[in-house]
Amino acid sequence: MGIPREEAKDNFIIASYSAARKTHIQVPINPTKPDLKSNANIKENLSSQLLYFLSDLKIQEALARNENQSKDADIINRWFIDFENILLKFLI
């Protein structure tokens, strides 16, 4: 089952996590972009790509700061702060 064409044309990203969480996170050894496929099966477990996604985003933030693109870097940093706050609500 892929993403319906109507939603895909608007560039939505849809992911879900099953109730039985089977975590299989791959730790990136080198900077690597996550392997996210467009029109992937909604039942595909993407938890293995989580650290790739987070590390890639941190690299993008560092590159933006290095290139004096403070606004872009601040947006990414804000995303991490918001993400951390959401996690804290679940874990505390």
CA distance linking residue 4 with residue 75, whole number of Å: 30
Q: What sign for the dihedral angle of Cα 39, 84, 21, 53?
A: positive
Taking each helix axis from N to C terminus, what angle separates 50-66 and 70-91, rounded to the nearest 10 degrees? 150
Structure pTM? 0.63
Q: How many domains does the chain have?
A: 1
Domain range for residue 13?
Answer: 5-91
State the DSSP string of 6-36.
Answer: HHHTTT-------SS----PPPPSS-----P
Whether the CB-CB separation of 54 and 83 falls below 8 Å is answered with: no
Q: Render each residue's pLDDT in the chain as its tens digit; 92 residues.
A: 454 555 555 565 666 656 666 666 777 777 777 777 766 676 666 677 788 889 999 999 999 999 999 999 999 999 999 999 998 998 87
